[in-house]
Amino acid sequence: MHEIICPHCGKAFKIDEAGYADIVKQVRDKEFDKQLHERLELAEQDKRNAVELAQAKIAGELQKVATAKDTEIQGLKARLDAEEVARKLAVSEALGTVQKERDALLNELAQARQEKESTARLAEAKRLGELQKSEATKDAQIQDLKARLDAIALTQKIAITEALGTVEKERDELKSGLERAALEKQLAEQSLKDKYETQIKDRDDAIERLRDMKARLSTKMVGETLEQHCETEFNRIRATAFPRAYFEKDNDARTGSKGDYIFRDADEAGTEIVSIMFEMKNESDLTATKNRNEDFLKELDKDRNEKGCEYAVLVSLLEPDSELYNTGIVDLFYRYPKMYVVRPQFFIPIITLLRNAAMNALKYKTELALVRAQNIDITNFENELETFKTGFARNFDLASRRFQTAIDEIDKSIDHLQKTKEALLGTDRNLRLANDKAQDVTIKRLTRGNPTMAGKFGEVKTGDGSGEG
């Protein structure tokens, strides 16, 4: 016998071994469930904090990269437009200069013709033979000037065509580089997003498995009903744990109702040790309405009394989100005497506990086995939590390195675009040089090293002076 002092009134009272063991069991189970619940909440909070931190970091980095790349692309587009405008202006100026020089040559040619015709009329009778010779020479010179004029125009056209081809090719390459950079940025962002979404989903699945561990630690019920599961679990250990036990369906409905199963166990002398009335309720069996465990307690207590059972146990999958019933074994003595509600994974433990409560000789051995099992569960939970944290850290580190690799690839694209820009600037310098050369083209430069043409143009200028005199 144990003496217990009430913490409220201070009154001492005595309790037998079975009652004392039951109180110790309840306190221990509640503390274990409380610790398990707190650890699950801490694990989920760590997961949420880690996910939020990773999401914030990724969003910031992606925003910085996207802003920088968009700014660079806009700058390159603006430069490309400016280069296009400069190219058009250079071509227009070059064409204007060539056309102006061509018109000047044509004017000089027309003046030379007029002067030739005038000279021919004045000296026709005197210098007919000499005039014919001079006319032939002037015609040859005129043809030469035309040929030179056509050659200059052709050269300018070829130069302009080549310059345009080079600029257009570089422009196309720049546009292609811009499109490729934009595509690479989009692919990098999508890749990072997919990786982190996959990682977050993996963490959610791990937390969900930890959360379901309380309600479905060792129960495998795919393709079978709750009653079949409980009967199978009992029959698996009947020969070793309950060799003299009776566990059969309650088929006696003479009183108007019946439970699902009755368990009775006796010692070697045939004396009954414990008897339990079981009722099984599976959520999948109730499709019309979502009932509660409370709805079946009154009928179960009635069946217990009518069938002469000491205890009543409701094995239930109802109210799956209830923290009360998910703690394990719930004692409802305050509603009905010797009434318990358990989840399926506690079906065998409740039978063991109730039977052992009536067998003082096996009490300490049973308690030791339960304590060891609980310690193993706590150790496994801590190991799984550490494995989760380690895996999360490893995946986060891998994602960070891949993110840096993507940044390096983007920097390479920027270097390529910079080289393209330098090539365009080189093209601009070549166009300016071509324009300067075109502007330097004059009659004096064309006749340099050609005394015949220089003499003819000298005669033309001298004739202009005589006419005016």
214-241 pLDDT, tens digit each: 445 443 443 357 888 899 999 999 999 9
Q: Is the dihedral of CA 59, 60, 64, 67 positive or negative?
A: positive
Whether the per-residue pLDDT at 243 is higher than 70: the answer is yes
The model's pTM = 0.34
pLDDT at 286: 43
pLDDT digits (tens, 9 = 90+) for 370-396: 777 777 767 777 777 778 777 767 776
% residues pLDDT > 90 (the chain): 18
Quote the pLDDT of residue 222. 36
pLDDT at 213: 52
Determine contact, residues 113/462, Cβ cutoff 8 Å: no
Please say if the pLDDT value at position 437 is more than 80.
no
The yes-or-no verdict on residue 32 having pLDDT over 80 is: no
Task: Output the pLDDT for position 29.
Answer: 66
pLDDT score for 330: 95
Confidence of residue 94 (pLDDT cuts 50, 70, 90): low
Q: What is the pLDDT at residue 467?
A: 45
How far is Cα 334 from Cα 28, in angstroms, rounded to an integer? 20
pLDDT of residue 128 exceeding 90: no
Higher-pLDDT residue of 78 and 15 is: 78
Beta bridge partners of 331: 340
More confident residue, 100 or 263: 263
278, β-bridge pairs: 261, 313
As a whole number, the mean pLDDT across the chain is 76
Residue 204 has pLDDT above 60, yes or no: yes
Say yes or no to pLDDT of 285 above 70: no
Q: How many CA atoms lie within 13 A of 466 on its CB side?
A: 9
Inform me whether the pLDDT recorded for 461 exceeds 90.
Answer: no
Give the tens place of pLDDT for each residue, 296-351. 999 999 999 999 999 999 999 888 888 999 888 999 999 999 999 999 999 999 99
User: In the prediction, which pLDDT does 210 show?
Assistant: 57
Position 468 scores a pLDDT of 43
Confidence of residue 361 (pLDDT cuts 50, 70, 90): very low
Q: So what's the pLDDT on residue 69?
A: 76
